[in-house]
Copies of this chain bind each other. A is one copy, B any other.
Amino acid sequence: MTKGKRESQTSTEIFRFAEARIAIENVSHEIDGGRFPAKTVAEQPFEFFCDIFSDGHDVLHATVTIRPHRKGKNAASVDLEHLGNDRWQGDVTLPEPGMWELEIQAWRDVFGTWRRDTAKKLSAGQDISLELKEARKMVEDALEAKGAPKAATRKNLEALLQRLDRNDDTDSTQTLMSEETFQLMREAQVKANLTTYERKIHIWADREAAAFSAWYELFPRSWGKDGAHGTFDDVIDRLAYVKDLGFDVIYFPPIHPIGKTNRKGPNNTLTAGDDDPGSPYAIGSDDGGHTAIEPELGTLDDFDRLVAAAQDHGLEVALDFAIQCSPDHPWIREHPEWFDWRPDGTIKFAENPPKKYEDIVNVHFYRDAIPSLWIELRDVVLFWIEHGVKIFRVDNPHTKPFPFWEWMIGDIHKDHPDVIFLAEAFTRPKVMKRLAKVGYSQSYSYFTWRHTKEELTEYLTGLTQEECRHYMRPNFFANTPDINPYFLQTSGRAGFRTRMVLAATLAGNYGIYNGFEICEGAPVPGKEEYLDSEKYQLRAWDFDQPGHIKDDIRLINTIRRENAAMRDFTNLNFFTAHDDRVLYYGRMDAATGNYLLFHVLLDPHTPADFGFELPLWKFGLPDDASIEVQDLMHGNRFTWHGVNHRLALHPDARPYAIWRLYPPPGMRT
């Protein structure tokens, strides 16, 4: 390289480096260095944080600009505020569902720096006549600045110059130090050393149901009259029941034709009788595959009527998306290249050596299956979207490739940003999180296996405080057709009541599988499975039987709906109760002034009489202050005095308590 060329290259390099004088880092919603978007809810303000600082001591100014991804229109800008220790914060709201881009910018506020320093010199009685001249120059510069100021600002800057010309130093000092001039110079926005953060931050905004929803799961085939196979019309008749309990989402395991080959019998036996309906997860028969309806349930028209009826009840239908096939699935004939074939010409069954699952064959996602299978699966989802389904619970997504989900969910979301995907991935923590990163709106969790105060506190602290809170939203199912928790097998009614309260108030999304409301817990002995599981046979349910907990469910769902603090699952705080069997926590929403406290007795067998601390300090109140409180179970309002209180909980009478606090207005949190 010639010397001249090298010098010119050096110059170019220096100018390139120099562009980013201000350090911007540690951005709250940047996941894996920008590899994945964070998630939030449209129209709900959230706190956005980053570190911003520069060399020296100049006053800085920073903003975050919000644009719809790949459109660039409708940019809105939010000022960031310095919290201390170089941490900056702004309240950001994404106005509608979809992908958004955030751009962070910071610059040195030259006039603000002058004003701050000149104030100090004035206090020290120093002569500031040169400073006044310097400030006048700044006003002149503002008129000449790149991206010239708006006409109104320009007029005001010119008027300011004229005033300075007329004034003596004392008047000029007053004029230049005034709040009015400060605001005018801020409007003019001379952005010295304007620095743009090197990466755009991507945030996906969901509609609220992605973060806040109450699910009720049922097998439509069990809801028939007098022991008959249930139909969609039977479900229509029971929508009022589900709505009355306070749920938002009614979710069905697969509703598609069920294979006959190797069909499973009751309790997962290998041979089914002629009348056994088989597992709905063995999808596909001569009647069709993933876009068909099991004839015994009804027709596609019946399904459309069910979706419409649910809407009329304020319920959404969620479907199961289970990418697996019975050996009778039409795809095997139509697309042999999607399956693994063995040297003897047979198809490879699902297996977990040495175990084999002979009613299920799995597609593979690579080799000849790409892109045709990926497109077909996307089209299955689009098919049901066209039939009004906007929520999909996905079966075992961790056994399918991450990139498939990332592509498919992204592709669906391009035209349908209101579609919600729940990942049923009971798997290792990092795999669970990756699925959330690649696009899942909600995730099944380890909740059913967390029982003690220590377990729940540690698990929830992780979910609500660690980085994953920005992309993973747990859905706390209290039970599922696959999980009859050991705890509930022996807890009795008190356990069902408290686990429901925990599920519904520790997470934004939660659900129960039917039978829970009547404390159904009979197991296959020694296993975490239901006896006579609906997965393999029809069941007849009597949800009015004595001992049901429908009153609890109604109450909790009402409390969830009526209290703003329940809508953001990250606002959870654990407080001190002096009993290891009592979980004591709060959901605190400062923006709406909505503050709830919960006491839950984790031991379903023995009463507790314990002391607990009222977190007066959360509101900036002294330890001897009083606070108004309402018992949300009974409605009565009264006053708590001081920090220390006692409470008795009893497995039968009152295994939990829920309180709403009314701190004096204006108290900080």
Q: Which of A55, A57, A120 has the largest count of B CB atoms less than 10 A from its CB?
A: A55
User: A411 to chain B: which residues have CB within 8 Å?
Assistant: 10, 13
Q: Indicate whether A370 reaches chain B with its CB closer than 8 angstroms.
A: yes
List 19 additional A-B contacts (Cβ < 8 Å) besides A55-B401, A121-B353, A130-B344.
Answer: A10-B371, A13-B407, A17-B404, A18-B366, A18-B370, A21-B401, A21-B402, A23-B430, A23-B434, A25-B434, A30-B33, A51-B430, A53-B431, A55-B398, A55-B402, A56-B398, A56-B399, A86-B428, A193-B366
User: A365 to chain B: which residues have CB within 8 Å?
Assistant: 18
Q: Indicate whether A117 reaches chain B with its CB closer than 8 angstroms.
A: yes
Q: List residues 238-293 of chain A with CB under 8 A from any CB of chain B.
A: none
User: A545 to chain B: which residues have CB within 8 Å?
Assistant: none
User: A402 to chain B: which residues have CB within 8 Å?
Assistant: 20-21, 23, 54-55
User: A18 to chain B: which residues have CB within 8 Å?
Assistant: 365-366, 370, 374, 401, 403-404, 407
Q: Which residues of A contact B (CB under 8 A)?
A: 10-11, 13-15, 17-21, 23, 25-26, 30, 32-35, 51, 53-57, 85-86, 117-118, 120-121, 123-124, 126, 130, 133-134, 137, 193, 198-199, 342-344, 351-354, 365-366, 370-371, 374-375, 398-404, 406-407, 411, 428-431, 434
User: A370 to chain B: which residues have CB within 8 Å?
Assistant: 14-15, 18
User: A120 to chain B: which residues have CB within 8 Å?
Assistant: 353-354
How far is it, in angstroms, between the C-alpha of A301 and the C-alpha of B81 when the chains are bound? 55
On whether the beta carbons of B56 and A353 are closer than 8 Å, the reply is: no
How far is it, in angstroms, between the C-alpha of A602 and the C-alpha of B14 when the chains are bound? 48
User: A353 to chain B: which residues have CB within 8 Å?
Assistant: 117-118, 120-121, 124
Chain B proximity of A24: nearest CB distance (Å): 10
How far is it, in angstroms, between the C-alpha of A167 and the C-alpha of B20 when the chains are bound? 69
On whether the beta carbons of B354 and A123 are closer than 8 Å, the reply is: yes
On whether the beta carbons of A126 and B86 are closer than 8 Å, the reply is: no
On whether the beta carbons of A400 and B53 are closer than 8 Å, the reply is: no
How far is it, in angstroms, between the C-alpha of A53 and the C-alpha of B429 when the chains are bound? 11
User: A343 to chain B: which residues have CB within 8 Å?
Assistant: 130, 133-134, 137
* Closest residue on chain B to residue A431 by CB atoms: B53
Chain B proximity of A49: nearest CB distance (Å): 13
On whether the beta carbons of A14 and B121 are closer than 8 Å, the reply is: no
On whether the beta carbons of B371 and A11 are closer than 8 Å, the reply is: yes
Assuming the contacts A120-B354, A343-B130, A399-B56, asked whether A85 and B13 have C-beta atoms less than 8 A apart, the reply is no
Chain B proximity of A18: nearest CB distance (Å): 5
Assuming the contacts A130-B343, A137-B343, asked whether A17 and B198 have C-beta atoms less than 8 A apart, the reply is no
Assuming the contacts A33-B30, A33-B199, A343-B134, asked whether A55 and B86 have C-beta atoms less than 8 A apart, the reply is no
On whether the beta carbons of A53 and B86 are closer than 8 Å, the reply is: no
User: A429 to chain B: which residues have CB within 8 Å?
Assistant: 85
User: A25 to chain B: which residues have CB within 8 Å?
Assistant: 32, 35, 430, 434
A-B contact pairs, 13 of them (CB 8 A): A11-B371, A14-B370, A14-B371, A14-B375, A21-B366, A21-B403, A23-B430, A25-B434, A26-B430, A53-B431, A54-B402, A55-B401, A130-B342
How far is it, in angstroms, between the C-alpha of A451 and the C-alpha of B403 when the chains are bound? 52
User: A398 to chain B: which residues have CB within 8 Å?
Assistant: 55-56
User: A399 to chain B: which residues have CB within 8 Å?
Assistant: 55-56
